[in-house]
Amino acid sequence: MTNGGVVLLIEDEDEIAELLRMAFEREGFRLVHAADGESGLERMRDRDPRAVLLDVGLPGIDGFEVCRRIRAASDVPVIMLTARDTEIDTIVGLEIGADDYVTKPFSVRELVARVKAVLRRSEEAPVGRTALEVGDFVIDGGRREVTRAGAPVVRPTAREFDLLWYLADNAGLVLSRAQILEAVWGYDYFGETRTVDVHIRQLRRKLDGIPIETVWGVGYRIDS
Ligand code: CA
């Protein structure tokens, strides 16, 4: 049973690869393993995975650079596997377009759950309205892009788009980080609220003037 599709693992530790292969195949995925960045990028091209699990510490080109190259060509969900729980790794990974990360040693069961959540989110079209307006920005749910008169079209990453859509769909309401995590990431994130902050920062950078307000001590609100 491998109907879940291909998950690509780019990881130089065979032991982790073997553990994950068993876990993902039990859940119906086919796990394709690459032991370094170069061969990982080749598998990206020839296996067309639904999700990528990407180790940061790799021989040759590191995981951050691999992530940048993947993002240059694809919106595939990327989950970084980081060895150190340092803020810098986390933020760098998310800023270059990773959807999520786990810190080693991680629970295999939790990683599988995160992959499933990421796939659900990235493949679900927003329901209901097909476009939302925020100020003079138009958020197109079908094309998953943002337009503004006189400005180039912006295509945020899958997760950034879902976050923006959620805020815009609840325009005027203050949303807590926990609420946002639950709605956009789809599972209990064990208090990793800086993931929300980093994604908000990316949206503000990509969409200059987007009226996302920080509500200190609570969360965020978009004004329409
Ligand atoms: Ca490694």
Centre of ligand 1 from the C-alpha of residue 80, in Å? 11
Cα-Cα-Cα-Cα dihedral sign, residues 196, 198, 200, 202: negative
| Percent of the chain residues topping a pLDDT of 70 | 90
Confidence label for 213 from pLDDT (cuts 50, 70 and 90): very high
Which CA distances in Å does 23 have to 80, 137, 185? 17, 43, 21
Query: Between 216 and 190, where is the model more confident?
Result: 216
Phi, psi (deg, nearest 5) at residue 98 = -65, 150
The structure tokens listed for 162 are 């879902």
Q: Dump pLDDT digits (tens) for 118-145.
A: 887 766 655 556 899 999 999 998 889 9
Average pLDDT, the chain: 87
Reported as a single tens digit per residue, the pLDDT across 68-103 is: 999 888 889 999 998 766 666 677 777 788 888 888
Do 34 and 42 meet the contact criterion of CB atoms below 8 Å apart? yes
Instruction: Identify the pLDDT of residue 211.
Output: 95
Under the banding of pLDDT at 50, 70 and 90, the label for residue 50 is: very high
CA of 55 to the centre of ligand 1 (A): 6
**63 CA from centroid of ligand 1 (Å):** 9
- The gap between the terminal CA atoms of the chain, to the nearest Å, is 47
Residues 91-115, buried b or exposed e (16+ Cβ, 10 A)? Answer: bbbbebbbbbbbeeebebeebbebb
Beta bridge partners of 9: 33, 53
Distance (Å, whole) CA 110 – CA 170: 29
Cα 147 to ligand 1 centre (Å): 40
Distance 13 CA to ligand 1 centre (A): 6
Chain centroid offset of residue 78 CA: 6
Whole-model pTM: value is 0.66
Q: Which residue has the higher pLDDT, 92 or 107?
A: 107
Q: Where are the alpha helices (DSSP H) in the chain?
A: 14-26, 37-47, 63-73, 87-95, 108-123, 158-169, 177-180, 194-206
Residue 98 has which token pair? 């990773």
Angle between helices 108-123 and 158-169 (to 10 degrees): 70
Residue 12 C-alpha to ligand 1 middle, in angstroms? 5
Expressed in angstroms and rounded, the spacing between residue 15 Cα and the centre of ligand 1 is 11
Ligand 1 centre from 181 Cα, in Å? 28
Pairing of strands 131-134, 29-34: unpaired
Task: Give the confidence band of 202 by pLDDT, cuts at 50, 70, 90.
Answer: very high
| CA–CA separation, 83 and 16 (whole Å) | 12
Nearest 5°: phi and psi at 123?
-105, 0
